[in-house]
Amino acid sequence: MSDVSGVISYRGIEYAQVPGFRPLELDLYLPDGLTGPVPVVVHVHGGGWRRGSRRHPLPALGDGFYHELAATGIAVAAIDYRLSGEARYPAAVDDVRAAVTWARTALPGYGITLGPLALWGDSAGGHLALLAALTAALVDGVVAWFPVTDLTTMHEPGDDDPESREAQFLGAPPSVVPELARAASPVSHVHAGAPPVLLMHGDSDALVPASQSTGFARSLADAGGTVALELVPGASHFWDGAGDVPGIVARSAGFVRALAPARG
């Protein structure tokens, strides 16, 4: 445990055990001295489902991102999950759901009165956050930055590259296992009772096209869900080229604070 600038942090908390795999861990960052309900974010890192960790936020955010977010009054649980080299879909999304369950049951033991609880992820992490929220995780909202939302449209028809990120995640190229790819796509699970979603995507993203967010937003709205979409001018993946990354963070944090807590 460490206490820096009004933030209490706990490293290496085990949030779940899966037989045959390493323990699943998270780092917890708590605002110190707050009373009353505290907004909570379960943060899911990106990395194409095959790399990255809870210890390395996006370069544009800096290593102090979690501390800085907690210093604004939002508790953060930054999680690791099983990468595609360890286990295929649905392992990673199962881990995200387990982390949400941990947050709801364990955080009161850290002196936290739960306010709204949100999932927040970028890229592959945004995909996992959306998929978990739409398929059983009890959260009050989702912040998804440049997420993959439809695995069936991430490559050209007939692209059967077994080494692609999507193929490694699923265990086979999406074109080879189309039903599995659809099941693993957040857009396949939109419904009127979905938690509110904030999508933020660079309009110049060449790695995950902005159409992944615009198409999802349209589908969720058509289904009767609540969704806000912001396309960031000139920004590519990882917020490269974005003119105001602190503003993006601030709007995302504001969305979390405004959520109505205790869904279900």
Max CA distance (Å), the chain: 56
CA-based R_g, the chain, Å: 17
The per-residue pLDDT for 161 is 87
Give pTM, 2 decimals: 0.96
The per-residue pLDDT for 35 is 80
pLDDT in tens, the chain (264 residues): 556 678 999 999 999 999 999 999 999 999 998 788 999 999 999 999 999 999 999 999 999 999 999 999 999 999 999 999 999 999 999 999 999 999 999 999 999 999 999 999 999 999 999 999 999 989 999 999 999 999 999 976 656 889 999 999 999 999 999 999 999 999 999 999 999 999 999 999 999 999 999 999 999 999 999 999 999 999 999 999 999 999 999 999 999 999 998 754
Written as one string, the DSSP assignment of the chain is -EEETTEEEEEEEEEE--TTSPPEEEEEEEETT--SEEEEEEEE--STTTS--TT---TTT-TTHHHHHHHTT-EEEEE----TTT--TTHHHHHHHHHHHHHHHHGGGGTPEEEEEEEEEETHHHHHHHHHHHTT---SEEEEES----GGGSS-TT---TTSHHHHHHSS-TTTSHHHHHHT-GGGG--TTPPPEEEEEETT-SSS-THHHHHHHHHHHHTT--EEEEEETT--GGGTT-S-HHHHHHHHHHHHHTSPP---
- Domains (ranges, CATH) in the chain? 2-150+185-257 (3.40.50.1820)
The per-residue pLDDT for 156 is 66
The closest of 98, 120, 107, 34 to 72, measured between CA atoms, is 34
